[in-house]
Structure 1
Amino acid sequence: MVRLLMLFIVLVLTTVCSARQLSNQQLYQTLDSLIEQYNQLTADKERRVAIIKDGVKGLKLTPEQQYDLNQRLYDEYVAYKFDSAFYYIDKNVKALSGSSDHDRFAASAVRMAHILAVTGLFDRARRLLDKVNPDSISDQQKIAYYTQQSELNLYRSEMALATKYFYDYIKRAQYYRQLVMQIAPKDSYDYIFNQATYICEAGDTDQGIRILEDYLRKTDLGTRTYSIITSTLAFFYQKKGIPQQQEYYLLLSAINDERSAIRENNSLRSLSEVLMARGNNDDAYRYLLQAISEAKFYGSRIRMMQVGRMAPQILQLYDAERTQTQQRTNLLLFVISFISLVLAGIIIYTLILYRKKHAAGLQIIEMNKMLASHSAEIENVNTQMKEANRIKEEYIGRFLELSSLLISDGEQRLKQLNRLARERKLEELYAELKTMEPVNKGIRKFHSHFDTAFLNIYPNFICEVNRLLNSESQFAVEVDGTPVKHLSTELRVLALIRLDITDNQKIADILRSSITTIYTYRSKLKAKAINKETFEDDVRRIATYR
């Protein structure tokens, strides 16, 4: 059944590319369907790789056969799982180190440099490429070598965004693109892609778009090349300020990534940015969570950093919505409290009037009439008190009704689920049950409460941490003149260390992160410290100042 569905999706996407008959809304439905099959698609990918491995079990391979096998497994893992791709290509690099076979060493070194660059290990990638002598390798390997040099400089430019080094890296990437175009066949992907990106960077975005759109018609679906071209076209349309076309190509790229189990991707994150800019925060958050999940699965620090930059923006929007809801609730409570105070004042004033009337009657009525009048007044007061009690009951009833309305929202969801189950709409029921929004909301509340409680106890914590760090690595204490009220992930790690929780696994469990991510954060923070040896001990000595 799954294979038939996948075949149907391929046919639909083929129609999209040739005639563009599907709307963006239909593409979103296709993308959501593929995301729901995430586990199945991952399992299919694992089975394909297992078939390759099982095919050589028990066989004694020659060095050349082992080289080819490692190369093939690397190609399977390169966009799927970082550590596995690194493992197999590292075997070839080590086996060919010092070898006279310059072409094969260059092929392995370029692949290793790519996988290192993808995960952010730029210096190691550069040092490995420096070992390749382009004058001693074939034109085919030169193309791969220059392409990787260009890619490495693009990654470094992204990390140097908004710094004076950004354009230096862009210029070097342009230089290597020119070298590729000098030796690559003019009808090859390497020539056409580098030509389009070079022209676009030089200022002629329209020509770059025409070149890639013409080549896209000849590109097979399901390939990484298809994902790269559509993602690049989305970037070109973003530069031109045409968000509709940008969104269209991001959808094609993301669909191809999900269908092909490509976990090293950027389209879902970019798509969530488009949706967030349009005000569709729920879908933006959903796609961002999927992008985070895939980046963690692959192990790419660059992609994690990219999605990490967006998370605070979406959380800020959710906080703004929550604040607005809280303000409306506070206003309603204020109105109810005001009405209650007015009613209490009326009751008190009524009692005062009746007391005055009773006092005046005592002065003009005879004793026996006074006793009767007194009884009548008591009865009258009791009647008024009963009326007051009815008024209280009415307002209590209204308050309970209001509370009931709030509770009914939860009941409506239960009824909806029961209805779906009763009508056997299992796919819709599964979609409703599968949603992680309640869990995610709990995580956000946990982070918010943790941040607020911690900063109440340690109000000067961020300032004290900054005193332990180099000046260029310090955290912001204020945003637009307002003190920071929420901690970043790095500061939460330090906060837990301040609370004497130092085990990486415990910190990862509390922050719902991976132990590798926590280890990376701690290593980076220690590297930024003035005194690296005593940094975490210094953090644990930060006082409350209360």
Structure 2
Amino acid sequence: MIRRLFILVLMVYATDISAQRTSNQQLYQTLDSLIANYDQLTAEKEHRVADIKEGVKGINLTPEQQYDLNQRLYDEYVAYKFDSAFFYIDKNVKALSGSKDKDRFASSAVRMAHILAVTGLFDRARRLLDQVNPDSISDQQKIAYYNQQSELNIYRTEMAQFTPYVHDYIQRAQYYRQLVIKIAPEDSYDHIFNQATYTCEEGDIDQAIQMLEGYLPKLQEGTRSYSIVTSTLAFFYQAKQMYEQQERYLLLSAISDERSAIRENNSLRSLAEILMARGDNDNAYRYLYQAISEARFYGSRIRMMQVSHMAPQILQLYDTERAQTQRRTTLLLIVISIISLFLVGIFIYTLILYRKKHAAGLQIIEMNKMLAKHTEEIESVNTQMKEANRIKEEYIGRFLELNSMLLSDTEQRLKQLNRLAREHKLEELYAELKTMEPVNKGIRTFHSHFDTAFLNIYPHFISEVNKLLTDSNQFTIESNATPTKRLTTELRILALIRLDITDNQEIADILRSSITTIYTYRSKLKSKAINKDSFEDDVRRIATY
């Protein structure tokens, strides 16, 4: 019973730690709510664009005004609907082709190149960018031009995965990132984002994360920049194999995309991959279906190709589950049939026993007399056992108190984390999630209760252990021992062995230590024993009093 209680306390404690690391549920609820309102958010986006068009209806616009209107409509459609964005920016490119206004042509060409790259028309995007001479445009347009050159090469790496050309595209992207870093203001989005992605590619992922996380509070959720930065942070954390943080930033990116009707996105697909790997096939399929719908709505061939690669995997998982369900159903029918036959056999056997009942009556009376005698003996033993149990139950309460205290501390901590998440205090929330002090405090409290309870049940345990050790290796016994006395790590290991917990991994899990440490301590203790071969068996035979 004591062993089961220790394991129960450990399981509750481990569950509390796990609950602290899975704080993304609220973000999933927010994302699901936005997906449920997909049609409403789309309608709001269409209404905003319609207002812009309605505002100039019936007005004769100058070429400059028409250029600005086309740019504005492009910006509305760029991450929403490909064909509309292409339509308006194509007007500007054609109107400015051969124009002396190099800045305006560069601005339109860069935007057109982005649209072409998104849909996989890389050669056309490159040829259009080749028409821009970066030496003849302003620094602002140079930044946009270099950003687009970098983006084009990044898109090419996505399509050239597992080919020898990936490295070349990455190096080209790094080259253009350096050009942006040189001319963009140090506190600008372009400078910080390019510096972070360049730093990450060079191998310093921690510095890249620090840069983007420091800049993220300056961005507004729902903007394209916010979605890109959070998605990039998710990629950085994936590279560090910190999958909970990766999932968190993917959720923030997807929420930002859905809130602003950004249909050219990649976060939902990545979340679907995570959920599929976790075995949550229903939600993985739901997010993948949403990603496919948005990619089809936008018209991005790259995104459609990416999500289409996952569809067969989802279908295969569903087919596997359906086959397993069918096999379980067949097995259940077989088991039910066997049980039915077994019940028929029991019924027949019961009839036979009923016929023998009268003949066995006298034997039962004699047996009852013997049972009555044995019952008296059992009652005597039970009386002794109840007395011993009352002593141990007094100390079981101590662990129930520990369990209650840990649950209370966990509840308070969860309330604090929920409050920080609700108030969007992300830095404080991250600091709270990162600290290990609650865990360390819980471990200290657990050890204290364990030591006190164990020494109350086995008050002479240390002196009995000393009898098994050589004179030079015995443990010191305090003459003024108090109820708060503590065991050393070595004595805790022996205490768990006395409780019949002998597996190194199980001991390591309870004491929050490594299995190597536990193995080392046990080896040293055996080397100190008088009888090394039977030392642990002798420990298990130590009496309560």
1:415-494 alignment to 2 at 5 Å?
A: none
Question: TM-score, normalized by length of structure 2?
Answer: 0.58
Match of 1:290 in 2: 290
CA distance in 1, matches of 2:236, 2:342: 64
CA distance in 2, matches of 1:24, 1:125: 39
Match of 2:212 in 1: 212
SS in 1 for 2:58: coil
Distance 1:22 1:255, change over 3 A: farther
SS in 1 for 2:84: helix
1:119-518 alignment to 2 at 5 Å?
A: 119-334=119-334
Distance 1:130 1:303, change over 3 A: same
SS in 2 for 1:164: coil
Please state how far the C-alpha of 1:329 moved relative to its aligned partner. 2.5
Q: Is 2:33 the partner of 1:40?
A: no
Distance 1:30 1:21, change over 3 A: farther
SS in 1 for 2:200: helix
CA distance in 1, matches of 2:224, 2:22: 22
The AA in structure 2 aligned to 1:116 is L
The higher radius of gyration belongs to: 2
Gaps of 5+ in 1: 1-19, 344-546
The AA in structure 1 aligned to 2:319 is D
CA distance in 2, matches of 1:151, 1:325: 46
Moved over 6 A (4+): 336-343
Match of 2:102 in 1: 102
Please state how far the C-alpha of 1:111 moved relative to its aligned partner. 0.1
Distance 1:223 1:21, change over 3 A: farther
SS in 2 for 1:145: helix
The AA in structure 2 aligned to 1:220 is Q
The AA in structure 1 aligned to 2:276 is M
Match of 1:349 in 2: none
SS in 2 for 1:217: helix
Please state how far the C-alpha of 1:23 moved relative to its aligned partner. 3.1
Please state how far the C-alpha of 1:80 moved relative to its aligned partner. 0.4
Please state how far the C-alpha of 1:276 moved relative to its aligned partner. 1.3
The AA in structure 2 aligned to 1:140 is Q
1:282-302 Cα distance to aligned partner (Å, 9 max, x none): 111111110111000000011
CA distance in 2, matches of 1:209, 1:109: 32
SS in 1 for 2:187: coil
CA distance in 1, matches of 2:340, 2:132: 82
CA distance in 1, matches of 2:40, 2:339: 58
Distance 1:300 1:338, change over 3 A: same
Please state how far the C-alpha of 1:168 moved relative to its aligned partner. 0.9
CA distance in 1, matches of 2:326, 2:302: 37
The AA in structure 2 aligned to 1:297 is F
CA distance in 2, matches of 1:45, 1:238: 32
Match of 1:27 in 2: 27
Please state how far the C-alpha of 1:341 moved relative to its aligned partner. 11
Please state how far the C-alpha of 1:325 moved relative to its aligned partner. 1.1
SS in 2 for 1:120: coil
CA distance in 1, matches of 2:231, 2:150: 17
SS in 2 for 1:23: coil
1:60-71 alignment to 2 at 5 Å?
A: 60-71=60-71
Please state how far the C-alpha of 1:114 moved relative to its aligned partner. 0.2
Quote the RMSD (CA, aligned, Å). Answer: 2.2
CA distance in 2, matches of 1:62, 1:167: 47
CA distance in 2, matches of 1:104, 1:156: 26
Please state how far the C-alpha of 1:330 moved relative to its aligned partner. 3.0
Please state how far the C-alpha of 1:275 moved relative to its aligned partner. 1.2
Distance 1:342 1:240, change over 3 A: closer
The AA in structure 2 aligned to 1:325 is T
CA distance in 2, matches of 1:165, 1:330: 52
Question: TM-score, normalized by length of structure 1?
Answer: 0.58
Contact (CA 8 Å) 2:257, 2:263: kept in 1 or not?
A: yes
Contact (CA 8 Å) 2:231, 2:249: kept in 1 or not?
A: yes
Contact (CA 8 Å) 2:21, 2:244: kept in 1 or not?
A: no
Contact (CA 8 Å) 2:160, 2:166: kept in 1 or not?
A: yes
Number of residue-to-residue matches in the alignment: 326
SS in 1 for 2:218: coil
SS in 2 for 1:225: helix
